[in-house]
Chains A and B, each alone.
Chain A
Amino acid sequence: MTEKTIEIIEEEIIEEFSLFDSWDDKYEYIIDLGKKLPVLPSVHKIDENRVRGCQSTVWLVAERKADRVYYQADSDSVIVKGLISMLIRVLSGQRADDIIEAKLGFIQAIGMTTHLAQTRSNGLVAMVKQMKSYAMAFKLMDKSSG
């Protein structure tokens, strides 16, 4: 279980990216993260878990343990996997409320805003939205049961 807040992890990532001079280097790092992302078991690679993006396919699953939300994800694009890996590092293991409120400014700070633009080029926007929806769903379940 992570003790670091979302903001602290975001700061760490921004710090790591400040070491890179070129876009090639940044992406080499992202590709590396993508390659290291744990494989999502194929039972999870079903339509219900698909996050629709225009070009790459992303699967996302979430579960809750105590008051924390945990994510696993995968993609057929290694760069998207690298981006997912960072989102998981930031959001997985956090409280639902914090996930819902997260501004995720690190994406812009490390120069990855192109992936948030309306280019329909990948499912990153949709994925952030989906991660927040899971957190929201868990929160609502708490409310109705409590």
Chain B
Amino acid sequence: MNTDSTVLKHSTLQRKSIDVAAVRKQFPVLTREVKGHPLVYFDNAATTQKPAEVIHGLINYYSHTNANIHRGIHTLAEEATAAYEATRHLVMHFLNASSIEEIVFTRGVTESVNLVAYSWGRQQIKEGDEIIISTMEHHSNIVPWQILCEEKGAVLKVIPINDAGELLLEEYEKLLSSNTRLVSIVHVSNALGTVNPVKQIIEKAHKHGALVLVDGAQSAAHIPIDVQDLDADFFTFSGHKIYGPTGIGVLYGKKAILESMPPFQGGGEMIREVRFEKTTYNDLPYKFEAGTPNIADTVALRDAIHFIEHYGKENIAAWEDELLLYATEKLQAIPGLKIIGEAREKISLVSFVIDGIHPQDIGIMLDNRGIAVRTGHHCTQPLMNRFGIPGTIRASFAIYNTKEEIDSMIVALENAIRKLS
């Protein structure tokens, strides 16, 4: 286990320490009890809890503004449109994209990947073309490409990993060729916490003329994202994993690429002119936003990004790294416990298994003490097969978690192991 490098990296920055007690007060759900115990929420990689400003953002929108956007002439429609588009501007800055035309709202990462597979993929991929993914992809970054490859007679290639859960970059280079059309890669593994060197991966792919899609579901809340510096062709994240509402996500795409792509879904909003003979499509990004969009959640996503920017990702990451290091040390001291995923670069997530005990049983026993962790294959079955395990127990930390909560988990875990053994 080596988390020292990440801790060192953050501590060298001029950073503000976070007042976690004050942060916790902003999250209403953290005051509740579960089965007679204070809630300890360690399932942040699945979804984060929401601060009051995001919840109020939703209430406020429906209480004062609610209207359909873009075409209405009345005041509410104008205000709703302004609020919706204000989020797009903020997302553009959040990702350091170069224009708002590059920011497409989707339901989340899954829909974003499917959009690219359906629109770009069906237009561009032909028989014999190759798409590269990795062993540690979430099913949402596997299945859309399998469907596309089956349809087109294209080939899906997979970057292997080492036992620590890191990509084998030399193997990746061997997979690249003039047949490679796309590399679709997870920025941070949801099951292992591994941070992949996406900038390097993108650079190598571009040398072979391939595009790169980065799945930022697990990175967007923890790592500063600069799509221009990364030179990513596509980057996607989900709002609900960055303290925002469910059902809203973002697909960033380079303007020239998005312009060349056909629409994903047809309907209202995405058209310029509809005639029975021929329909012309709207400009970017609206070409990809058919139908009434998820306005309220988009508006509240702005509050979530404000929340993150108020504290600063570097400061949040520094606190989360401290939690990761603390949890890792405590967990490693438990006999029979093995950490799965020991990459040098990790976000604040720890996956583990315990000799002779089913992960689900541990999850149930922790829930009895009010502790929410995730157990199972984390929608990464090929990755679990790589490690020869059916699943893991995963604790993932966010800005509002504390070392005391980790202590509670360790006590509950030791109790569970004692009873289940």
Return the contact of A23 from the options B35, B357, B375, B390 (Cβ within 8 A): B35
How would residues 77 to 102 of chain B score, 1 for a CB under 8 Å from any chain A CB and 0 otherwise? 00000000000000000000000000
Q: Is the CB of A76 within 8 A of B419?
A: no
Q: Is the CB of A31 within 8 A of B420?
A: yes
Within 8 A of A (CB), among B359-413: 359-361, 363-365, 368-369, 375-377, 390-391
Q: Is the CB of B375 within 8 A of A79?
A: no
Q: How many contacts A-B (CB < 8 Å)?
A: 51
Q: What residues on A are CB-neighbors of B200 within 8 Å?
A: none
Q: Is the CB of B358 within 8 A of A56?
A: yes
Q: Is the CB of B376 within 8 A of A55?
A: yes
Within 8 A of B (CB), among A9-42: 22-24, 27-28, 31
Q: Is the CB of A80 within 8 A of B35?
A: no
Q: Is the CB of B368 within 8 A of A24?
A: yes
The reply on B36 being an interface residue by CB < 8 A is: yes
Return the contact of A78 from the options B358, B368, B377, B415 (Cβ within 8 A): B358
In the docked arrangement, what's the CA distance between A32 and B357, Å? 14
- Looking at B360, B363, B419, the one whose CB has the most chain A CB atoms below 10 A away is B360
Q: What residues on B are CB-neighbors of A23 within 8 Å?
A: 35-36, 368
For the complex formed, measure the closest distance between the CB of A27 and the CB atoms of chain B, giving whole angstroms.
6
For the complex formed, measure the closest distance between the CB of A142 and the CB atoms of chain B, giving whole angstroms.
37
The reply on A94 being an interface residue by CB < 8 A is: no
The reply on A108 being an interface residue by CB < 8 A is: no
Return the contact of A77 from the options B35, B358, B368, B419 (Cβ within 8 A): B358
Question: Which residue of B is nearest A25, CB measured?
Answer: B368
The reply on A122 being an interface residue by CB < 8 A is: yes
Q: Is the CB of B364 within 8 A of A79?
A: yes
Q: What residues on A are CB-neighbors of B35 within 8 Å?
A: 23
Interface extent on B, as a size class?
A: 20 to 34
For the complex formed, measure the closest distance between the CB of B353 and the CB atoms of chain A, giving whole angstroms.
13
In the docked arrangement, what's the CA distance between A76 and B420, Å? 12
Q: Is the CB of B415 within 8 A of A77?
A: no
How many A residues, CB 8 Å from partner? Answer: 17
How would residues 1 to 43 of chain B score, 1 for a CB under 8 Å from any chain A CB and 0 otherwise? 0000000000000000000000000000000000110000000
Q: Is the CB of A77 within 8 A of B365?
A: no
Q: Is the CB of B360 within 8 A of A77?
A: yes
Q: Is the CB of B360 within 8 A of A122?
A: yes
In the docked arrangement, what's the CA distance between A76 and B377, Å? 15
The reply on A141 being an interface residue by CB < 8 A is: no
The reply on A2 being an interface residue by CB < 8 A is: no
In the docked arrangement, what's the CA distance between A74 and B3, Å? 40
Q: What residues on B are CB-neighbors of A27 within 8 Å?
A: 364-365, 368, 419
The reply on A49 being an interface residue by CB < 8 A is: no
Q: What residues on A are CB-neighbors of B420 within 8 Å?
A: 31, 78-79
Q: What residues on A are CB-neighbors of B36 within 8 Å?
A: 22-23
Q: What residues on B are CB-neighbors of A113 within 8 Å?
A: none
In the docked arrangement, what's the CA distance between A27 and B35, Å? 13
The reply on A121 being an interface residue by CB < 8 A is: yes
Return the contact of B360 from the options A24, A28, A56 (Cβ within 8 A): A56
Q: Is the CB of A79 within 8 A of B361?
A: yes
Within 8 A of B (CB), among A58-77: 76-77
Q: Is the CB of A79 within 8 A of B415?
A: no
Q: What residues on A are CB-neighbors of B358 within 8 Å?
A: 55-56, 76-80
In the docked arrangement, what's the CA distance between A24 and B365, Å? 7
What are the 4 closest A-B residue pairs judged by CB atoms, nearest first? A23-B368, A77-B358, A55-B360, A55-B376
Q: Mind listing 18 A-B residue pairs with CB under 8 Å? A: A23-B368, A27-B364, A27-B419, A31-B420, A54-B376, A55-B359, A55-B375, A55-B376, A56-B358, A56-B360, A57-B390, A77-B358, A78-B357, A78-B361, A79-B358, A79-B365, A80-B361, A121-B376
Query: Which residues of A line the B interface, CB within 8 A?
Result: 22-24, 27-28, 31, 54-57, 76-80, 121-122
Query: Which residues of B line the A interface, CB within 8 A?
Result: 35-36, 357-361, 363-365, 368-369, 375-377, 390-391, 415, 419-420
In addition to A77-B361, A78-B420, 18 A-B residue pairs with Cβ atoms within 8 Å of each other are A22-B368, A23-B36, A23-B368, A24-B369, A24-B415, A27-B364, A28-B419, A31-B420, A54-B376, A55-B377, A57-B390, A76-B390, A78-B361, A79-B360, A79-B364, A79-B365, A121-B360, A121-B363
